[in-house]
Structures are given as structure tokens and as C-alpha cells.
Structure 1
């Protein structure tokens, strides 16, 4: 068995599978995104829906439930969860999976964790109607006061935890929408100052240094996503430490409807590793994507046509064997030494309604996790 002594495999974790007060207001008491998973229907011949979780429709805020996820991840070579983390001007959203599930799990020493501030607008797409524009239920832009409140929560509740993930000695904090952050804080210069002060507050709390990461992409997916044209200058002024990707389709068009071939996207995405490493001055941590199918987020009674997210093409042929080839590709890239440390992200641990999940389902079982183990092995700590 190979040993994962030098690779960091960080899976994004989407925490919308527990009860939350905002969801109760928007969708009714007890609602979670499992309701969309259960109600998904095939949209074209051969379309496999619904996807059924092997472990059932669990409550991720239950520490015993999270403990099984941690064990499965660690046993198969993952080294950390990057939690999609939501904090709006009026406070947190979907935080219980981390705060009550992961942090209270008895085995959370087996897996590192970090936060990716998913600072995009939360829009009314659960499910999404064909008509546009979608209603904005919570705005992603946040003021300096809101930013300080959110980051103080990180400092008090996360950064001193022994399992918080550090990259090159710095506490890894990622931002999903850098343009939303800049707009909310009042411009590039103001954002740079606020981030410097964030670093200072972390040091003053005795937590050490930060490692600030930004998710970058070149294609608009969600209706509110945008690009910044002078990204290099912006990142330098902001003092960012690294960049990464969230999902392959941020960079590659899925333009064969209703299905685009997974291998076609995979092979082009593997080439992106070299391209982004050459194009950016900062270290680029590559991404591996398990699949894509956002049709569960559409109104199931409406026609499925290419109207833009989530009415868009799925990825076909994303078998465990095809995913394993992607993992072999990212390992080959990392072994060339162009990225240090050898960090890569995976989409995703549990993006069930976007068709990208490592958690076992009733068809493939643990096969996607086994592919990670087969390519990268398990760490000494987790063995």
C-alpha cells in the first residue's frame, strides 16, 4: 500500500443536510436539501436519478453521523474537509454541520478541517424555476462590520482547534467570490487593509499566521458569479497566498446537452493545471471533480432545457474508473514539483444535488473513495 506522506487531498463539504432556521423560514420546518435529492427524476433516457445515499438521509449536525464521514474519508486517503462556510450580514447560515457535527465528533483528530467562505448570493434555486432572475434570499456582499464578526467567530471557535488545517504553517481560509468581498468592503485598497487587520487579529489571539486562498475561475456558472480582469494585480495587493478551483466546469464549458462526456472535460481540465500554474504568480492548487448533475435543483415538473444553471448539461461517464484516471493525472502533475506543497482539492464530499459526491450511494458504494485510496494510499496517521 502506498503512503500519502506528502499529498494533501482536501474535499469540499457542502453543509445543507441539516436543519437550519433560515431554511425553515424559506422552505418550512425540518427542510433540508435531502428533499431535492429524494424528488429528483430522470430528465432524459438513461439519466440516473434519483441518486440514493447508501447511508440514508442523515443529519450531518449529529456528531455520530459526522464521525462515520470522518472515518470513511480518513480511511481512504482524504486529509481534510474544506467546509463551504456561510456568513451573511445578519450572521451565520448552515454552520451546524461544522460547529455541532464535526467539532463534536469524537474522532475529529483523524481529519483536518478548514473553511471556504462561500460569500456568494444565496438565491432561490432549491428548486429553481425556469423564469429569471432568481430571487436573492441572502446577499453575499458583507460590510467591514460583518466581516469582523464572521472572522472573530473563526478565531474563537476554529483556529485554536488542533485539527484546523494549516498550509505552510498558515491557517487555510479560502474565499469563493473575491469580487463580492471587494465590493462589500468598499474597494481593493479597503479590502487589502481589512485582510491585513484580519491577519493581525489572528496573531494577537495567539493563533499564528493565516494562509489566504482565493477560488478563481473563468466561466460564469451561478447567475451572480463574475470575473475580475486584472486578477494578478488584485491578488498581489490583497496579499493572497494561493489560489485554487472549486469545480472543473468553472473553467470548461459543458456544451453538449443533455450530456457532456466526463473524459472530455477531465482531459482538458488536466491540461489546465499547467496553464494556471504558468498564468498565475501565486501557487495554484489543482482541482479534481467527481461529476456534475445539477438537475435535482430544477423544478422537476418543468421541461429540462439548456437555460443556464441549474438547467444545464450533466457529465456522463463519470465512473469510479474514469475518476481514478483523473486522480492519477493530478498526482502526476503534483509529482512534477510545480506546486508546493502538494495540495489538491476535490469536488466534492457531498454535492448531491450537483451530482458531485464521494459519499457512497446505492450504485457505486465506496468505489470513488476507494479510487482515492488506490492512487494515493492512506496516511500514516490515518492508517
Structure 2
């Protein structure tokens, strides 16, 4: 059996920067939202608070090194950092920039271009746009010229010497085929071939297909393409709040309670009814989430709450996708975990005060000594 490389998505936030100071207040970081989260119903796990690594600042070498050492100890092969590029303007770039200058930070990595608008809601769809993505041929050229030196870093993750670059949402680029054609040609001129992936979402058009011109699709859980949409499941369940807590919620929210007020589904549902890898006619890298709940960011209107996540349910799901996944080659062997540190989405492998290192222990059990 070919070895599998677990990749954890990584949010390089958790440090002050001027734009956050301007938009949210001096000194704002993701921790600001995380610590303010409140439970919305009985047994709702909020807030999620860090344990072993504490409320770190990713400008510090010590904090980044602690993350890498923990990842290595528990079998994570590398990080996939979100990369924020807006026509040459970058956000949340300090952690990666400092890693690039520090050979001691030797955990392998790749980049995922988070190519949405930057908005008040962090979902790319809100009308209040803080920084807009403006696509152009010139920007495609400038962008890949910026990325190529990073891709030549010896720590950068490759497939058969081809650096991997991920585009988060290819469907919102005006001509994504022209973008990746430009990238491939510019890379080839410097002696590189690229391995280009995109994330796959069940709510996209043609969600079960690879976008033309890409090498592979990465299933993006909990909105992935291997089952029906999680939002369709919410609609079909029409689950009412448990008797006895309706009045509590009414009093807290001051509004009429409707079915599925919190867009919630049981976590254990996520690992069931997955379309097998063999049924896809393209290369698809599977993924799994340790949880999801963006109450921290969206207050009383979270996008989705996965209820009752536990390390055992996580192990069941991760074991299923590992057993189903046959690597496409010796180096096309990735399983993605979303995420390493998305604390404001209730979605993190990093230890918290409720479960400690138990989610990491699952990863170690399944992958460290393959």
C-alpha cells in the first residue's frame, strides 16, 4: 500500500496587521472573535479555547515552531497555508514570509489562493466588500511571478517535482482556463511544471467534475462533493429544537424559533453515504473536518453547526476515507484535514481545553507509522 501524506489546512492569522486594526479595531486578531463566542442552545460547545499552544501570535518564531513540532509529532506531513492576494496586495502574510526566511521551520508546505473578495462576513459573498478581487491578465502574470520563487523553496510540497498550487474557488474567476494557462507557461519558462488543484464544493455547478485544465480536485469538507449538500440535508431533516430548550432560545434571541434555526446536523452524519473514490472520473483528494461551527464569526447566525463532534466520530470518518482512498501515484497521495487552526470555525486539530490532543492522537494512530 502506498503511503498517504496528511495535509492540514492552515490559517496564517492570529497576529495584528494594519487592515484588521482599521476594520475591526486596534489589536484585533482571530482570537478576539473566538473568546467572545457564546453557546446558542443546550450542549452547544462554545467557546473553543486553546490548550497547549495558548493564544499565540504567529509573528513569533517560537509559536510557529511549536505548531510545526506538534504537527510532526502526530503525523501531519505538511501545511497548506491560505494565501491572500489582491492585485499585489497581500494579507496575513507575515507567518509565511517569516517561515520562508527561517530554515529551522522545515515542515513541508503548499499554498492555496483564497481568491474571494475580503468581506465583513469572511464568506466572500457579503455586499460589504473590504478588498475586492480584480482579475486581469496582468494580475495573472504578476501573481505567478510572485509565487514562483516560493515554489522553488526546497520545503514546498511537490508531485513528481511539480509544485502544487491550489485555487480555492475557480468558478469565480472570469476565465480560469486562461489564468492557469498563463501560470503554466510562465512556470515552464523558468524550468518548472505545476500541479494545479482546486477545491470542490457541493453547491457549485457541475460539482462532481474536475474543472477543465486542473490536475486534481480537493474535496472541501464540510461542504464537499462526495455526498449531497449539507444544506440539503438540513432542509430535509427539518429538525425542531429539543423540547424544553425552545423557551430558553426564544428568550435569548428575542425572536420566533423556526426549524433548523442554527443550520445544524449531527457530526456523525458527515462520515456516512460517501461516494466511493472509484466512482469519480477525475483525481479527487479526500478530506475530513474535526468539527465546524462559525458562531464565533457570525454570532447568532452561524452558517453551519456540526453538533456533537468527538474524537471517536472523527476517527470513524477518517478511517473510512483512508480505507477508500487509493493514491493515484507514489506522490499523488494526499488526504486533507480542514483544518489545523480554524478556531473561529470550531475546526481545529490544535489542542483545546475540552479534548486536548485527542484529535491529533487519531491522526497519529492512522498515519504516523504507515
Q: Normalised by the size of structure 1, how large is the TM-score? A: 0.81
1:126 positional shift: 6.5
Structure 1 gap segments, 5+ residues each: 220-226, 305-309
1:162 positional shift: 0.7
Work out the CA distance in 2 between the residues paired with 1:325 and 1:230: 25
Work out the CA distance in 2 between the residues paired with 1:133 and 1:153: 28
Residue of structure 2 aligned with 1:272, choices 271, 275, 281: 275
1:147 positional shift: 2.4
Work out the CA distance in 1 between the residues paired with 2:86 and 2:334: 29
Superposition map of 1:198-237 within 5 A: 198-206=183-191, 208-219=192-203, 227-229=204-206, 232=209, 235-236=211-212
CA distance 1:43–1:249, change in 2 (3 Å): same
Alignment pair present for 1:166 and 2:153: no
Write out per-residue CA displacement over residues 265-287 of structure 1, whole angstroms, 9 at most, x where no aligned residue: 2213xx1343xx524x3210011
Quote the residue 1:374 is aligned against. 365
1:5 positional shift: 6.8
CA distance 1:331–1:250, change in 2 (3 Å): closer
Quote the residue 1:139 is aligned against. 132
Structure 2 gap segments, 5+ residues each: 240-259
CA distance 1:119–1:127, change in 2 (3 Å): closer
Write out per-residue CA displacement over residues 251-300 of structure 1, whole angstroms, 9 at most, x where no aligned residue: 531515344111112213xx1343xx524x3210011111110111124x
Q: Indicate the SS of the match to 1:67.
A: helix
Corresponding pairs, count: 337
Aligned residues of 2:216 and 2:283 also touching (Cα < 8 A): yes
Quote the residue 2:284 is aligned against. 284
Work out the CA distance in 1 between the residues paired with 2:55 and 2:36: 13
CA distance 1:105–1:290, change in 2 (3 Å): farther
Work out the CA distance in 2 between the residues paired with 1:122 and 1:166: 29
Quote the residue 1:245 is aligned against. 219
CA distance 1:332–1:230, change in 2 (3 Å): closer
Superposition map of 1:97-112 within 5 A: 97-100=95-98, 102-109=99-106, 111-112=107-108
Work out the CA distance in 1 between the residues paired with 2:65 and 2:285: 27
Residue of structure 2 aligned with 1:75, choices 55, 59, 73: 73
